[in-house]
Structure 1
Amino acid sequence: MGEQLSFDLPVRAALGRNDFYVAPANAQAVAMIEDWQGWPSRKLVLVGPPGAGKTHLTHVWATLSGATIIAATDLAMADIAGLATGPVAVEDADDIAGDQAGEEALFHLHNLTLAEGHSLLLTARNAPNFWSLTLPDLASRMQATTLAHLRAPDDTLLAALLMKLFADRQLSPNPEILPYLARRMDRSFDAARSVVAALDATALSEGRPITRAMAAKVLDNMAE
């Protein structure tokens, strides 16, 4: 029998507060997002590895505060004065390191947003002292910003993340699959996304539901 035709359905990430599982690895960051009106100097840098939930929490904060979300790499072409009329979230702020126009735009956005009495959230993979910013005034302001960390997941958080990633793809695997995967896969958010994507593709290709045996096969293939 030939391989079954697979149809890639849209992956719609659930980004509401109720979709975010709170665990020791992220509890501090969640608490700071929810208590955003108490941020020192009205600004916060949310730090964590790719897939850790930075974008999810950014959307949660935008819902709470009414903030506008913008990618750091879009700042150089943005209307900084217009953005600064309300709270602003800048995603992947470390991506503009060494980009003079981008760094200057972030510097002006930082100063104007705070001067207007609004709050500023920034996300990045690492703390600002590792960003290699070339604009000294921006570097000093970023390094003086309070940090909230999203840590590496424990088994409970990893299982919850897997559940969410499956749900985003409209998949409902047997509950035993989640702890099985969490115990055997690389302990990272990127690995969770890769495993779920591979299982989704395999299930579509083979035309059968996700099973423990399929999970074992996918993990073995990814380890090769």
Structure 2
Amino acid sequence: MTTSSSKPLQPVTHVIFDLDGTLLNTETLYTEVIQDICTRYGKQFSWDLKSTIMGRREAEAIVMIQKTLDLPLSPDELMEETKKKKKELFPKAALMPGAEKLVLHLHQNKIPMAIASSSIQEAFDMKTGHHKAFFHLFHHVVLGDNPELKAGKPAPDIFLICAKRFEAPAPPEKCLVFEDASNGVKAAVGAGMQVVMVPDENLAKEFTKEATLVLRSMSDFKPEMFGLPKFQ
């Protein structure tokens, strides 16, 4: 557990979660999907490239992958290829370690929670279909294809929209965000929110510098550090 700021941690009243790689292990599945396609064309989907696209809206990420790797597919063709593989893998998505325990704890203590994800609705439904009871615990979900969203992560828009949609709109400084990607961290910080980062172990340390707190697993989170009810 490391803090990236000399400022003391501030108490919060609302919690916003990213989805991929934070609540669900779908970042691992995304890597499998893209690498499977890249292998066919003798290309390698490196961690350097993955680090730059994590958290972005899929249409943006696809263009970056196609351009960087010079794949002999148009972005639209690459998107279609990924859809086939995702339909096979995404319904198998599992909850990340510590996610269920924390979300249930916050729900039982009536802490308002929401999800802010770059996923589009179709992909969200595929990933969450067999975890319906879990995802019903959230007050609302803001996705990457939301018509109100003008710019995806690393822009702060998605978190600001999410904060406004709570029953009583939440001030950004009272929101705590959970993220795994540097683009998501940048978005949360830009929105004026504290952010707990739970990065993939392969992610270079330089990508974690802007987070308020960095954890190896959500299981290591201590709610009382941010003025939330502690685990009993």
Common fold: TM-score over 0.5: no
Structure with higher Rg: it is 1
TM-score by length of 2: 0.27
Q: Greater relative contact order (Cα 8 A, min sep 6): structure 1 or 2?
A: 2
Structure that is richer in helix per residue: 1
TM-score by length of 1: 0.27
